[in-house]
Amino acid sequence: MHNQPWIDLTHPITETMPVFPGDPPPQILKTATIEKEGYNEFSVTCGTHTGTHVDAPWHMLEDGASISGFTLNTLCGPAQLIDARGKSKIDSELFTGRQLSNGDRVLIMTGHSATYGTASYYEDFPELTTECANLLADSGVTLVGLDTPSPDRAPFKKHHILMRARILIIENLMGLEKLSSFSDVELIALPLNLQTDAAPARVIARGISP
């Protein structure tokens, strides 16, 4: 079970990385040098939705929980990998034959991360259907991760459906194709422990069963 290599699903944070239209780009400033202070240090400024990150319900719901309100047991553990490559929308048919139950985590592989850094990444990504969002919410799933910038577009109806069910959303994953031979994976998603609506995260996974 544990002889598979860990796969990094995280986009690196750089000053030139793409960000959601309207969001501030990261700023990375060197504030100390070995030559002057005897050590290197940097100041990093970025939005809570920079790169690979986790959305908490507070992002869309005024009374929703912040990212610091979730336990590691929610963020880490077994996850089902759903192959949605080639689909123009992420619908409930993708879950045919898959058993979802309370506390499950789901990673949805669309292949869209291949367009990261191009205009089409934020313009042409596949969305969750309302039916699929309701299926995930009703099943008791606690976390949904995607290799797209969002599960939907304005007015963000699917965000609201998921977040009212207290489902965390990981956005901007990469490299899920490296896990495509597995239906189940072990997931570790570690957002910064901030009392905010979301936080950048280091997300890794490895295969469990074919």
pLDDT digits over 53-86, tens only?
999 999 999 999 999 999 999 999 999 999 999 9
Using one digit for the tens of pLDDT, what is the confidence trace for 139-160?
A: 999 999 999 999 999 999 999 9
- Please give the single-letter amino acid code of residue 190: L
Active site residue 59: yes
Whether pLDDT at 10 is above 60: yes
Phi, psi angle pair for 95, to nearest 5°: -100, 5
Q: Rounded distance, CA 128 to CA 29, Å?
A: 38
Average pLDDT over the chain, rounded to whole?
A: 96
The more confidently predicted of residues 151 and 208 is 151
Exactly one of 59, 112, 159, 160 is catalytic; name it.
59
What's the chain's length in residues? 210
Statement: residue 209 has pLDDT above 80: no
Q: Burial of 39 by CB count in 10 Å (0-12 exposed, 13-18 middle, 19+ buried)?
A: exposed
- pLDDT at 104 > cutoff 80: yes
The region of weakest confidence among 2-6, 94-98, 117-121, 177-181 is 2-6
Q: What is the pLDDT of residues 37-49, one digit of tens each?
A: 999 999 999 999 9
Q: Please check the confidence at residue 1 and state whether its pLDDT lies above 80.
A: no
Radius of gyration of the chain (CA): 17
Percentage with pLDDT > 70 across the chain: 99
Q: Is the pLDDT of residue 103 over 60?
A: yes
Sign of CA dihedral 48, 49, 55, 61: positive
Domains in the chain (CATH in brackets) are 7-12+48-209 (3.50.30.50)
Q: Residue range 176-203: average pLDDT?
A: 97
Which residues neighbour 69 within 8 Å (Cβ) at sequence distance 6 or greater?
56
Listing DSSP states for 51-89 in one string gives SSEEE-GGGT-TTPPPGGGS-HHHHEEEEEEEE-TT-SE
Find out whether 106 and 143 touch, Cβ atoms under 8 Å.
yes
Are 18 and 185 in contact, with CB atoms under 8 Å apart?
A: no
More confident residue, 33 or 208: 33
Q: Please report the pLDDT score of residue 2 as a whole number.
A: 59
Q: Which residues lie closer than 8 Å to 22 by C-beta, 6 or more apart?
A: none
Using CA atoms, how far residue 74 sits from 18, 54, 119, in Å, is 28, 12, 33
